[in-house]
Structure 1
Amino acid sequence: MAGRGAEQHPHGADRLCDAGDRVYSRAVRRGRVPRADAERVPCLLELALLHPDPDDMDWLVPTSPQEVMTRLLRGVYDEVRESQRRVGSAVGAFEWYAGLGRQLQALSAPGEGTAIRVLDGLSRIQAAMDEATEACASEVLTVQPGGIRREAELTEGLHRALTLRGRGVRMRDLYTHVARHGQGLLNYLELMGDTVEARTLDEVIDRLILFDRTVAFIPANAERTMALELRHPALVEYLVTVFERLWRLALPLTAPLPDTGIEGISHRERSIAALLAEGHQDAVIAERLGISVRTCRAHIARLSDTLGAASRTQLGVRIAQVGLDGPPRPGSPAAPPALRIPDQEAPGVR
């Protein structure tokens, strides 16, 4: 009965249903009511507003209104205390999160925003780059790995480059030596005029873009669909130092590549020989120099033919013998022209 009554009269003692109000009021006025009168309103028994008459169980007597009021006030008091407890917990949590926020802000210098921000997706990366371009006032430094620059890659950031040129911002770009052979890059540099200075190296670090030495962008995954925006002064200063050291080692784009001093071996083949001596596989060498694996293997084959090596092991020995296992040594005598090593008729390594 209790379950059925609760479904028919879902309320508390602070607000009775109409039927319950009528029966309880009659019980208060008369002192008691027959149990049969309360059958339609079992909530009165469930809420202890009526209880059996000890002298006659067929009758129900009312709980005094004063007791009901005390019970209601006690319930309200308990609810207020519970609400105060929840508010206290919320205030404590707020203070804890606020403390975390202060710690996070401490990582950044005042006014510089988030020290490290993850940019997920090309649209967010482009938006952040455009924002940095708008704020840039004097200098942009970039490292562009890979080989020959495709037209699409050059066009992607052309609007930013033209915007910077219009404000007199100077730009310095580092590429691999392979990029020299791309007509798209030459066209881009001709368009930009003396605003851009370009230099090349055998190999460079991964992509890096620095604006005014205050904000840097680097890839955050191999697919380059995520990037890191860095504003922490120590991190940015470190990347600027890396760039400047690479820049001093690099050759101006208009300067010829140095001669290897060994007839029949090009500058690129010397670079490949040095990486082979370090034990790198073809795919790693190709990636670091910005060439395809197929081109890399063709150069290795020519190295083998020139040095007369019949195996990779023998090629490593020949590379060390002629001094190709590292950068050119200042003051070291150049190898004799038309280098000849016994048994060089052996087939080249493919």
Structure 2
Amino acid sequence: MDTKPTHTHAVTNLCTEGARLYAAALSVGRLARAEVRPAPCLVKFGLLLPDPDDASWLRPVPPSAALAQRLHPLEREIQDRRRTSLELADAFEPFLAISAQSPAPTHAITVLEGIDRINGALDLAIAESRTEVLTVQPGGKRSEEVLSEALTRSKPLIDSGISVRTLYQHTVRHSQRTFAYVDLMAGARMEIRTLEELIERLIICDDTVAFIPVQDDQPIALELRHPGLVAYLTKVFEQLWRRAVPLDEAAPYDPARDGITGVQRAIATLLIEGHVDEAIARRLGMNVRTCRAHVAKLSAVLGSTSRAQLGYLIAQSGILDQDS
């Protein structure tokens, strides 16, 4: 079985042997087929054609003819595109005239559907930032892919002197990848703080534009440019930021009381609000298995034998009334 690599390349990148043989054919007028075997690209690209008098020989096509043959479809395509651009301009001309006489739209809220469109709008807004970018990133340990994406977006900002403030959940403190990411950003105008529970993902650029998700299970986001909305979300961020703990400081986990930890009290609060395990895990930035382990611990401490009874016992126990 022939395992030799296929001889493939573009005509614009003619191989060394092909260039040498084509030049030789132009000089002497023809080449034997056997001589051309190391460069089958010459026949493939139509630079050598069979000699009509003797098929064992190949004659070169003049370079001017070969060039014209390739330029013709390109020139035709350029002409077609120019024609299309003129037709588009003619089609939109009456609407442009109307638009010029109307108030400019504010585009206060834009629906972005699809990962590519969301990422494109984010990249543009971040690239246009001049002072500060604020981000809220709920969830637990950050995957390598997520942190790589964050590095790609943050590095140009940091290199241009723009500050970045990010809120994570306490659970990222158990992620070595997160601290490796912080080390890569050392010396930059970047701050990271953590909280036990966060709102949904939020990105704000320069108090000008904000991005929020629409649905957890669908790649749909809102781009918000209404000054009032952006100002409100900025205030929400600042309130969370004041309560959060810098990543280089120890997180103030509440000590266990009556055998129930601060994390378990947070879970208990969400349980009596009617949230399921998956929603609680997402809100607190942990995986579902860890969440269920905490629920089991609550059940054991309070003596519950069912989910419905657990909610009742949490409410009756007074554990949520204790000062933290």
Tell me if TM exceeds 0.5: yes
Structure 2 letter corresponding to 1:310: T
Q: What CA distance in whole angstroms lies between the structure 1 residues aligned with 2:251 and 2:258?
A: 17
Instruction: For 2:224, give the aligned amino acid.
Output: L
Correspondence for 1:211: 205
Residue deviations 1:195-227 (CA, integer Å, cap 9, x gap): 222222222111111111111112233345232
Distance 1:250 1:205 in 2: 13
- Classify the secondary structure of the residue corresponding to 1:227: strand
Counterpart selection for 1:294 from 283, 289, 295: 289
Is 1:271 matched with 2:255? no
Q: Aligned with 2:167: secondary structure? A: strand
Amino acid at match of 2:230: V
Structure 1 residues 329 and 199, CA gap change in structure 2 (3 angstroms): same
| SS at 1:125 equivalent | helix
- Displacement, 1:296? 1.4
* Cα deviation 1:227-263 (Å, max 9, x = unaligned): 2222111111111111111222223222223324515
Measured in 2, the distance between the counterparts of 1:212 and 1:95 equals 31
Deviates more, 1:133-142 or 1:175-184: 175-184
Mapped pair 1:231 → 2:225: yes
Cα pair distance change 1:117/1:310, threshold 3 Å = closer
1:247 matched to 2:256? The reply is no
- Whether the 8 Å CA contact 1:260–1:270 is kept in 2: the answer is no
Aligned pair partner of 2:135 in 142, 149, 164: 142
Q: Which moved more, 1:193-202 or 1:182-191?
A: 193-202
Task: Tell me the residue number matched to 2:144.
Answer: 151
The number of residues matched between the two structures is 229
Runs of at least 5 residues in structure 1 that lack an aligned partner in the other structure: 1-92, 109-113, 331-350
Question: Taking structure 1 as reference, are residues 161 and 272 closer, same or farther at Cα in structure 2, changes over 3 Å only?
Answer: same
Please give the secondary structure, in 1, of the residue aligned with 2:186. helix
- The residue number in structure 1 matching 2:307 is 312
Candidates 138, 148, 169, aligned match of 1:176: 169
Deviation at 1:94, TM superposition (A): 6.2
**8 A contact 2:256–2:262 mirrored in 1:** no
Deviations 1:136-172 (A, max 9, x none): 1211100111221111111113122111111121111
Gaps in structure 2 of 5+ consecutive residues = 1-93
Q: Percent identity?
A: 49
Q: What is the CA–CA distance in structure 2 between the aligned matches of 1:229 and 1:329, rounded to whole Å?
A: 39
Question: Residues 95, 136 of structure 1: CA spacing in aligned structure 2 closer, same or farther, 3 A cutoff?
Answer: closer
Q: How far apart in 2 are the matches of 1:268 and 1:307?
A: 16
Compute the displacement of 1:317 (Å): 4.4
Q: Within 5 Å, which residues of 2 pair with 1:1-350?
A: 98=99, 102=102, 105=104, 108=106, 114-193=107-186, 195-223=189-217, 225-253=219-247, 254-325=249-320, 328-329=322-323
Whether the 8 Å contact between 1:277 and 1:325 is mirrored in structure 2 is no
**Distance in 2, Cα, partners of 1:279 & 1:260:** 25
> Which residue is 2:76 aligned to?
none
User: Deviations along 1:261-315, whole A, 9 cap, x unmatched?
Assistant: 5153233212111112223222221222222322211111112223333333443
Q: TM-score, normalised by structure 1?
A: 0.58
Scaled by the length of structure 2, the TM-score of the pair is 0.63
Which amino acid is 1:289 matched to?
Answer: L
SS at match of 2:193: strand
What is the DSSP-based 3-state SS (H/G/I as helix, E as strand, rest coil) of the residue aligned with 1:102? Answer: coil
Q: Give the secondary-structure state (helix, strand or coil) at the position aligned to 1:137.
A: coil
Residues in 1 aligned to 2:318 and 2:191: alpha-carbon distance in whole angstroms: 33
Contact 1:264 1:306 in 2 (8 A): yes
